[in-house]
Amino acid sequence: MSDGGLNLDDFGDLIERPSVRLRRKAEERRTRTGLPPKALGRLDTIGAWLAAAQGHVPVTPVARPRAILFAGDHGVASLGVSARPAGGTAALVRAVLDGGSPAAVLARHAGVPLRVVDLSLDCPPEELPEEVTRHRVRRGSGRLDIEDALTAEEAEQAFRAGMAVADEEADAGTDLLVLGDLSVGGTTAAGVLIAAMCGTDASVVTGRGGVRIDDLAWMRKCAAIRDGLRRARPVLGDQLKLLAAVGGADLTAMTGFLLQCAVRRTPVILDGVVSAACALVAQRIAFRAPDWWLAGQASGEPGQAKALDRMALEPLLDHGVTVGEGSGALLALPLVLAAGALAAELPERPERPDEDAAEAAGAAEAAESESADHSAAVAEAT
């Protein structure tokens, strides 16, 4: 129980795994399509996962996917840990809203609505549409290396905001969610969370970020993660305090979002290291929750690989895409849609035991007759 009254233990009781029975039933149906085993590779696994998540066989093709990008600025960015300027996330948000970012282009061509949720952008809220800023918790965040990123009250507010977004999407009929982030300094916060959760050193999880940083920036980032780890370890037993200390409002909201999606039985495709870090914290809160998520792509960030390994999630794609913004998960979306369509629409091969038996008997009779004719011909010749 957190000081703010949000009982995270409830998620452990509320979240159930997707039906194992229905997953087996989907796998059995697949064997009756007449296609050779493993002919569809991972598409079979994804199709069975969707069936279990939806709660019925055959699968219903995914009809209403949606991409959600949580946005926030991180105080630690002022240390020069990113190739982008501190407080510069608002520019990324505007590019998405204007349709000129990679995520916006991919979502548009996939026909997927794209939603941006501002939790802690460092800009006046009136500069952005109200539907983007209505969940904002604060402007920017504290520097995680020397101070808490959020107060306890702000952490609970952000967590509940993420839960509210999940509920809004589930209530709207969204049947598959793509999760991404827009942030400057977010991968540093993610590195602290992953290192704390996995019990590793800062250097093991420190990557180059979405926009590749040089060696000096990497060393600054590694030092910031190391300092953040010193502040994170004492609160590892309380995940909300951990997120308040080093996560920031956007990562806290993403964690609440992932857990509530699992409660609402809404599957999610994860993007890069930030969503993987939030998923890892969510797993600590409710160990069944990762069964509702797919890892969209391998981003090349060492922290992401560490987190996904801990959750036993294998990325669907590995194309070296580092741009972030949910782009990797959006690239994986067509694969998931294809798996759902195949699982739903491939017809089962009708079973005809009587005809098959008759056909087999006829073949045996013909073979016997041919053998007899051959024997007679041999006898006549001799």
Per-residue pLDDT at 195 exceeds 80: yes
Q: Which two tokens stand for residue 325?
A: 């913004």
Residues 6+ apart with CB under 8 A from 73: 86, 87, 88, 89, 90, 120, 121, 122, 139, 140, 141, 183, 184, 185
Closest CA to 269 of 132, 120, 103, 39: 103
Report, as an integer, the average pLDDT of 157-184: 98
How many Å apart are CA 243 and CA 190, to the nearest integer?
Answer: 10
Was domain 65-344 assigned CATH 3.40.50.970? no
The more confident residue out of 356 and 311 is 311
Closest CA to 35 of 349, 378, 366: 349
Cβ-contact 285, 12 below 8 angstroms: yes
- Over residues 253-270, the pLDDT tens digits come to 999 999 999 999 999 999
- Over residues 12-51, the pLDDT tens digits come to 999 999 999 999 999 999 999 999 999 999 999 999 999 9
- Over residues 202-233, the pLDDT tens digits come to 999 998 876 778 899 999 999 999 999 999 99
The residues pairing with 69 across neighbouring beta strands, listed in sequence order, are 116, 180
Residue numbers annotated as active site: 325
- Give residue 154's pLDDT: 98
Closest CA to 275 of 138, 175, 378, 182: 182
How many Å apart are CA 51 and CA 40, to the nearest integer?
Answer: 16
Per-residue pLDDT at 375 exceeds 80: no
Per-residue pLDDT at 5 exceeds 90: no
